[in-house]
Structure 1
C-alpha cells in the first residue's frame, strides 16, 4: 500500500525540489505541494469530513510556511488529525529546534537542502509509525481526527447591539444538549461576560499569554466552571492586560479548546484585535450581530469589508444576525444581505428589552425566561448555526483559515 504524502511548502524552489524527490521514492503517493497553512488545514478538514481514512499518512511542513508559523501548524495538525504524522523540513537542525518540534507533535525533522537518503529514511520510519497507529486505532470511521469541536464567533457590528447576550445564550443552548461547551470572552478591554453571569474570578485569558504550550492542565486551571456547566474563559478585569493577548496566543487557545470541547463560542466584541481576527479566521461560523437601523447596517458593512481587506473572512462566509427585530421596520434581512454581502440568519431575535433588563441587572442572564420570545429565538438561532445539532449549516464545508496576513 502506497504511503500518501501531503507537502505544505511556502517556497516555490523548495516545492519543486520536494516534488522531484518524492517522485523518486518507491511505494509513495505524493500530492501536489500546498502553498500555505490555510490550504493545508482546509484540505485536511475536507478529507476528514468525508472519511478520516482518506487522510494522508504523512504531512511535510516547510519551515517558511504561513500565515500560521511552522511549529504552530505542526501542533495544530497533530492535535486535530492525530493519525497523520508530521515531518518538519528546516535548515535549522539544532537540538533546541528538534526538541521544540517534538514537543509540538512532529514525528521528525529533515534538513534543508533536502537529501534523497535522509528524506527516504525519515519517510520510511514515519510511515511505519503512522500505520502502526492506524492499526491500533482500527481501520474504520472510528479513527480519531478531523476538525474537532465546532467554533462559533459572535461579533457586534457596533457597540450596544446585544452580541454578548446572543453569545451567552447560544452557548447555553449548546450546553443544554449535554455536550462540553466553552464560552470565551475575547472582548479583551471591555468584555463583561463575568458580570452577565455573576462570576467572581481570578484567572483570565491574559494568564495564558506567556504560555507557549497550553496543556489541558494549564487550560483547566484558567477555565471557570460555571453553575450552568459552561467552561468560561474570561476577559481580564484590567482592560490594559488585553494587549498581552495576541494572535499567536488566540490561535493556541482555540486549538486547545477545540480539542477538549465539542462547542466553543467566542464573544469577539466590536473592536478588531489580532486575537479577535485570529478567532474569526479560525471559526467554523462567524456571526455578525446588528440591529435594524441605518447606523448598525453601515457599521456591519464596514466590518465585513475590513475583514475582507485583511483576509480575515469573506462576506459570503459571514452570517449576519438581526437582533431587536421589529415587524414593519424598513430594514429587513433582504436589504441587509444586499448591503453587506453576508447571509442573514433566518432566525431573528425580537426587541424585548423588558424581558432582558431584570436578568442583566441581577447578573443572572442564564435565568432568562425559557418561555419568553428572546430566549426561544436565540436558542433557535443556535440550532440554525449548528450548535444544537452539531452541523454548522450556514457555512460551506471546509471554510476555515482563509489566510490572513501574519504578523
Structure 2
C-alpha cells in the first residue's frame, strides 16, 4: 500500500523541492501540499472526521511555516492526530533542536539541504511506526473516531479546594453518559484518587514515564479498570517517583489517552509540576477550582498569573469553578471572575460537606447518593463542559453506567 505523505510549508520553492523529492521515494504518494498551520490542522481534522485510516501516514513540516511556529504546530498535530507521524525539515540539525522536536512529538528530523537517502530512510521509518499505531488502534474497541477525545484538567487554587472531588465526579458523569473515560492522577506527590475510589493498584503513571512509544496495549496494561467502568491511571504510591514523570512524558501520555478515550479527566492537584503544566497547556478545557474565601481567591489569582507568565495558559482560556458556594457568602462567583480575569463556570458547587463525609471517609466517592446537591452540581458542570448529556441526573443508587436517569428539560 502506498505511503501517503502530506507536505506542509509556507515557502513555495522549498515545498516544491520537497514534493519533487518525495515523489521519487518508492511507494510514496505525496498529497497536495498545505501552505500554513491552519490549513494543515483543518485538512487533518477533515480527514480524521471521516476515519483515522484517511489520515496520511506521514506529515512533513518545513521549518518555514506559519503563523503557528513549527514546533508548536507539531505538538498540536501529535496530540490531536496521534496516528500520523510528523517529520520536521530544518536547516538546524543540532542536538538541541532534535531534542525539542522529539519533545514536541515529532517522529523524526531531516536536515537541509535535503538528501534523498536521509529523507527516504526517515519517511520509511515513520510510515512503519504509523502503520503499527493504526494496527493497535484498530484492535481497541474504545477508540473514538476523529481527532481524539476531550481532555479536561482540574487544578486546585490551593490545597483543599476540592479539585480531586471535582475531577472524580466529572469522570463518573462522563462514563455514566456512555463515554469511554480515563481519569488520571497527576498530583504526583500526594494524589488521592486511589483512596477516594477504594483502589489497590500496582501500576502507576510513573511506570509509563520511560516509555517513548505508548501503544494502546502498553496503556491498557497500566490502567486500572474500576467497577464503574472508569479507566484509572494513578499517581505513584511512592511520592518521590513523581519526579520520573517529566513534561515530555506527560505530553506523550495525554496524547495516548486522547487517542483511545472519548473523555480524559486529569487531576493536576494544587502544586505546579512540569507534567501538570504540560497537561494544562494541551487540555481542551483547564479548570481551576477555588473556594469563595479571600485566601483561596488570592491563590487562584496567583495561579492564573503564573500560568500566563510561563505561557502555559492565558487567563481567558482558564475556567474557574467555585466550590462550597453559599448565597450568603461575601465573595460571590462574579467577583471571583473579576479578580482572576478568567472565564467562570456557570455551575457553582454548593457547600454541603455533610453529604460527602461518609463516602469520603469510606473511600467510596463513587457511591455518593444521587440526591446529593454536590453531586448534582458537579454532574451539571460535566454537562456544561460537554462531558455528559444536558439534563443527565444520577440515580439514587450510585454512578455506574446503568445508574443514570434523565429528566426532560423545561422548554
Normalised TM-score (structure 2): 0.73
Give the CA deviation at 1:61. 2.6
1:37-56 equivalences under 5 Å are none
User: Quick check: 2:291–2:325 contact (8 Å CA) kept in 1?
Assistant: yes
Unaligned 5+ segments in structure 2 are: 24-29, 131-143, 391-411
1:224 counterpart residue number = 224
Alignment of 1:32 onto 2:28: no
Deviations 1:16-41 (A, max 9, x none): 7624636989997543344xxxx798
2:175 counterpart residue number = 175
Give the CA deviation at 1:217. 1.3
Deviations 1:290-333 (A, max 9, x none): 00011111111111111111111111111100000001212112
Give the CA deviation at 1:7. 2.2
User: Quick check: 1:48–1:145 contact (8 Å CA) kept in 2?
Assistant: no
Q: Counterparts of 1:260 and 1:81 in 2: how far apart (Å)?
A: 10
Give the CA deviation at 1:375. 0.5
Change (3 A) 1:118 1:66: closer
2:14 counterpart residue number = 18
1:373 counterpart residue number = 373
User: Quick check: 1:45–1:146 contact (8 Å CA) kept in 2?
Assistant: no
Q: Counterparts of 1:176 and 1:326 in 2: how far apart (Å)?
A: 28
Q: Counterparts of 2:213 and 2:20 in 1: how far apart (Å)?
A: 37
1:7 counterpart residue number = 8
1:294 counterpart residue number = 294
Q: Counterparts of 1:352 and 1:119 in 2: how far apart (Å)?
A: 61
Q: Counterparts of 2:117 and 2:70 in 1: how far apart (Å)?
A: 27
RMSD: 3.9
1:89-104 equivalences under 5 Å are 89=89
1:187 counterpart residue number = 187
1:55-70 equivalences under 5 Å are 59-62=59-62, 67=71
Give the CA deviation at 1:373. 0.5
1:113 counterpart residue number = 113
2:211 counterpart residue number = 211
Change (3 A) 1:119 1:268: closer
Give the CA deviation at 1:177. 1.1
2:265 counterpart residue number = 265
Change (3 A) 1:21 1:301: same
Change (3 A) 1:88 1:259: same
User: Quick check: 2:79–2:254 contact (8 Å CA) kept in 1?
Assistant: no
User: Quick check: 2:82–2:259 contact (8 Å CA) kept in 1?
Assistant: no
Give the CA deviation at 1:89. 2.7
Deviations 1:41-93 (A, max 9, x none): 865676569888998897323589765697x777546xx264x674443677x
Secondary structure of 1:388's partner?
coil
Q: Counterparts of 2:277 and 2:326 in 1: how far apart (Å)?
A: 31
Secondary structure of 2:211's partner?
coil
Alignment of 1:237 onto 2:233: no
Change (3 A) 1:105 1:4: closer
User: Quick check: 2:5–2:60 contact (8 Å CA) kept in 1?
Assistant: no
1:137 counterpart residue number = none
Q: Counterparts of 2:43 and 2:315 in 1: how far apart (Å)?
A: 24
Q: Counterparts of 1:22 and 1:90 in 2: how far apart (Å)?
A: 12
Secondary structure of 2:219's partner?
helix
User: Quick check: 2:49–2:147 contact (8 Å CA) kept in 1?
Assistant: no
2:308 counterpart residue number = 308
1:344 counterpart residue number = 344
Q: Counterparts of 1:49 and 1:257 in 2: how far apart (Å)?
A: 17
Normalised TM-score (structure 1): 0.74
Change (3 A) 1:23 1:66: closer
User: Quick check: 1:181–1:261 contact (8 Å CA) kept in 2?
Assistant: yes
Deviations 1:149-198 (A, max 9, x none): 00000000000001100100000000001221100000000001000011
Deviations 1:216-238 (A, max 9, x none): 11111110111111010000111
Alignment of 1:354 onto 2:350: no
Q: Counterparts of 1:22 and 1:209 in 2: how far apart (Å)?
A: 35
Unaligned 5+ segments in structure 1 are: 10-14, 131-143, 391-407
User: Quick check: 1:89–1:111 contact (8 Å CA) kept in 2?
Assistant: yes
Change (3 A) 1:57 1:238: closer
1:395 counterpart residue number = none
Q: Counterparts of 1:171 and 1:73 in 2: how far apart (Å)?
A: 24
